[in-house]
C-alpha cells in the first residue's frame, strides 16, 4: 500500500490527459465533418488556411513536437514540409499562401494519419513513455489545437462567403437573430486610478497553463477610466455606418483610411448592403441588432470609438475588469457560432467580457517586462510575432469554452476582419 500511491497518481494523471487529448482531437474532426473534400481545400485568402491543412498541421504538431521528441520516427516524414506552419527551427515548409495547392494527400489520407498518430500518442501516454518535456508539449499541443478549431471555423466562413452562392457551413445552426425582449443598456463602470497587477505566472513552473506571452505578472498604473458594461452592438455600429463613418477621414488612423479607400470598406465584413442581413456559418440571416458587432478590424473599432466620443480600452484596463467577471458569454460549445445578445445583468456588472466576440484593445502586441519565451524549439510559438499587431481579449462564439482566461492575449494585425472580432468602449475620467 505504501508503495502504490506514488505509482497510481501519475497513472491517474496520464489517464485524465489521455481522455482530454481524445476529446480535443475528436472535437476538431467533428467541426470538419460538415465539409466536403472540396470544401476542405478552400483557401480564400493568404491569411486563411484550408480545413484539411488545419487537420493535418495539428497532427504534425503532435507527431513532431511530442512523439518526435520521445524518439519515435514519423509515420509520414514527407508530409513534414507540407504541414509545418512557421517553425523555422523545424525546417523548411510550404509557403502559407500556397497551402490551398495541396490537393495531395487527400482528405481521407489526412484523417487516417490523424487516427494513426492519435493511437500512438494514446499508447505512449497510457504506457508512461512520455517524460515531463513531452507531456509539457502535449499540453501545449492541446491548447494549440483549440486555437486551430476556431481558425478552422473562421477560415471556412470566409471561404464559403467568397463564393457566389454563399453556401452555409451548417444550415441547421440556431439563429441568433431572436434578441431578448429587453436588451442590455450600455452603462459605464468606473475605476479609479490604481496600480493593477496583470499577467499570469510562467507555466510550467506554475500549475495553471498559460502561454509564455502572458507572463510574467507585473504592475501597471491605470489612470481613472470607465469601461462600457457590454460590447458595442450591431445596432450601434449600424448608426456609425449610416452616419457616414466610412466616408469621414477625420475618424480614421492614416493606415486605416488608406485601407478603407484601397479595399472599398463600407460596413463590417459579411454584412449585406442593406445593413439588415449578414452572412453566417448558417447562411445569410437577419442581423441581430442587439448582438455584439463582429468582423471589424482594429481600424474600424478605433474609428467607431472615436465617432462615439470614446476610445478602446488598454489590455491592462480590460484584464483588471475581467479578473472578477464571470465567463457568461457564448462559446463554441453552445453551438450558436455567432455572437448573441444578452439580457441586462441584475447585478449591474460587466456583460460578455468572455465569449461571443473578441474585443480589440488599444495595446500593441509587445513583450511584458521580464518576458522570456519558452527556451526550447516551441519558443517560436508567440515571441516572433511581436511586431505590427494589436491585442484582443476575451474569446468568441467560435472559441472552445475553458480555452481563454483573464490573462489570455490574442493578437492580429490591425487590418484583420475575418475573425470574430468586436469591441468594447472605454473613456477617460477626470483625475481628482
Q: What is the residue-averaged pLDDT of the chain?
A: 94
Average pLDDT on 21-37 reads: 98
> Taking Cα atoms as reference points, which of 149, 141, 172 lies closest to residue 67?
141
Tell me: cis bond preceding 289? Omega within 30 of 0 counts.
no
| Helices 4-32 and 132-161: angle between axes, nearest 10 degrees | 10
Tens of pLDDT, residue by residue over 257-289, are: 999 999 999 999 999 999 999 999 999 999 999
> Taking Cα atoms as reference points, which of 428, 250, 237, 246 lies closest to residue 339?
237
CA dist., res. 218 & res. 201, Å (int): 10
pLDDT tier for residue 12 given thresholds of 50, 70 and 90 = low
Average pLDDT on 297-313 reads: 98
CA dist., res. 413 & res. 261, Å (int): 18
Average pLDDT on 367-375 reads: 95
Whether this prediction's pTM lies above 0.85 is answered by: yes
**Rounded (to 5) percent helix, strand, coil in the chain:** 40, 10, 50
Q: Which three cell numbers stand for residue 28?
A: 476538431
pLDDT tier for residue 91 given thresholds of 50, 70 and 90 = very high
Q: Indicate the length of the chain as a whole number.
A: 432
pLDDT tier for residue 5 given thresholds of 50, 70 and 90 = very low
Helix (H, G, I), strand (E, B) or coil at 29: helix
What pLDDT sits at residue 431? 66
What is the percent of the chain where pLDDT is above 90?
Answer: 88
CA distances from 47 to 39, 163, 184 (A): 17, 17, 35
What pLDDT sits at residue 430? 82
pLDDT tier for residue 48 given thresholds of 50, 70 and 90 = very high
User: Is residue 171 over pLDDT 60?
Assistant: yes
What is the percent of the chain where pLDDT is above 70?
Answer: 96
> Taking Cα atoms as reference points, which of 129, 3, 142 lies closest to residue 59?
142
User: Is residue 87 over pLDDT 50?
Assistant: yes
User: Is residue 36 over pLDDT 80?
Assistant: yes
User: Is residue 7 over pLDDT 80?
Assistant: no
Average pLDDT on 354-360 reads: 97
Q: Which three cell numbers stand for residue 14?
A: 496520464
CA dist., res. 65 & res. 110, Å (int): 18
What pLDDT sits at residue 1? 27
Q: Which three cell numbers stand for residue 70?
A: 520521445
Q: Which three cell numbers stand for residue 220?
A: 501597471
Tens of pLDDT, residue by residue over 118-129, are: 999 999 999 999
pLDDT tier for residue 136 given thresholds of 50, 70 and 90 = very high
Neighbouring residues of 21: CB distance < 8 A, sequence distance ≥ 6: 118, 121, 122, 125, 138, 142
Burial class (CB in 10 A: 0-12, 13-18, 19+), 328: middle
Please give the domain boundaries of the chain with CATH numbers for all domains.
Answer: 4-161 (1.20.120), 188-428 (3.90.1580.10)
Amino acid at each position: 500500500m505504501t508503495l502504490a500511491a506514488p505509482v497510481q497518481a501519475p497513472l491517474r494523471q496520464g489517464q485524465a490527459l489521455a481522455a482530454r487529448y481524445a476529446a480535443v482531437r475528436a472535437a476538431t474532426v467533428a467541426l470538419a465533418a460538415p465539409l466536403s473534400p472540396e470544401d476542405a481545400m478552400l483557401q480564400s485568402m493568404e491569411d486563411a488556411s484550408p480545413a484539411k491543412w488545419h487537420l493535418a498541421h495539428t497532427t504534425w504538431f503532435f507527431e513532431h513536437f511530442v512523439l518526435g521528441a520521445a524518439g519515435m520516427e514519423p509515420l509520414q516524414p514527407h508530409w513534414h514540409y507540407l504541414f509545418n506552419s512557421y517553425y523555422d527551427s523545424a525546417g523548411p515548409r510550404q509557403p502559407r499562401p500556397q497551402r490551398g495547392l495541396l490537393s495531395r494527400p487527400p482528405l481521407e489520407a489526412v484523417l487516417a494519419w490523424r487516427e494513426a498518430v492519435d493511437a500512438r500518442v494514446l499508447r505512449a501516454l497510457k504506457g508512461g513513455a512520455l517524460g515531463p518535456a513531452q507531456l509539457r508539449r502535449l499540453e501545449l499541443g492541446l491548447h494549440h489545437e483549440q486555437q486551430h478549431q476556431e481558425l478552422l471555423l473562421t477560415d471556412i466562413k470566409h471561404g464559403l462567403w467568397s463564393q457566389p452562392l454563399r453556401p452555409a457551413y451548417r444550415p441547421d445552426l440556431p439563429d441568433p437573430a431572436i434578441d431578448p425582449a429587453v436588451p442590455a443598456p450600455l452603462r459605464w463602470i468606473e475605476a479609479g486610478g490604481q496600480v493593477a497587477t496583470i499577467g499570469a505566472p510562467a507555466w510550467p513552473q506554475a500549475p495553471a497553463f498559460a502561454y509564455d506571452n502572458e507572463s510574467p505578472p507585473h504592475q501597471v498604473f491605470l489612470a481613472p477610466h470607465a469601461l462600457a458594461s457590454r460590447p458595442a452592438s450591431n445596432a450601434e455600429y449600424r448608426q456609425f455606418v449610416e452616419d457616414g463613418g466610412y466616408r469621414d477621414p477625420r475618424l480614421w488612423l492614416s493606415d486605416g483610411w488608406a485601407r478603407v479607400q484601397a479595399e472599398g470598406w463600407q460596413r463590417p465584413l459579411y454584412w449585406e448592403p442593406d445593413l439588415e442581413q449578414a452572412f453566417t456559418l448558417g447562411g445569410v440571416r437577419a442581423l441581430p441588432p442587439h448582438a455584439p458587432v463582429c468582423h471589424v478590424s482594429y481600424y474600424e473599432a478605433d474609428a467607431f470609438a472615436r465617432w462615439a466620443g470614446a476610445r478602446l480600452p488598454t489590455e491592462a484596463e480590460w484584464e483588471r475588469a475581467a479578473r472578477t467577471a464571470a465567463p457568461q458569454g457564448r462559446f463554441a460549445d453552445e453551438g450558436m457560432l455567432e455572437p448573441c445578445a444578452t439580457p441586462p445583468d441584475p447585478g449591474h456588472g460587466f456583460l460578455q467580457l468572455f465569449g461571443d466576440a473578441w474585443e480589440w484593445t488599444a495595446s500593441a502586441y509587445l513583450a511584458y517586462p521580464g518576458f522570456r519565451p519558452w527556451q526550447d524549439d516551441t519558443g517560436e510559438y508567440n515571441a516572433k510575432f511581436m511586431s505590427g499587431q494589436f491585442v484582443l481579449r476575451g474569446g468568441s462564439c467560435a472559441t472552445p469554452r475553458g480555452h481563454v482566461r483573464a490573462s489570455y492575449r490574442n493578437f492580429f494585425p490591425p487590418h484583420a476582419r475575418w475573425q470574430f472580432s468586436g469591441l468594447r468602449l472605454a473613456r477617460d475620467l477626470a483625475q481628482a
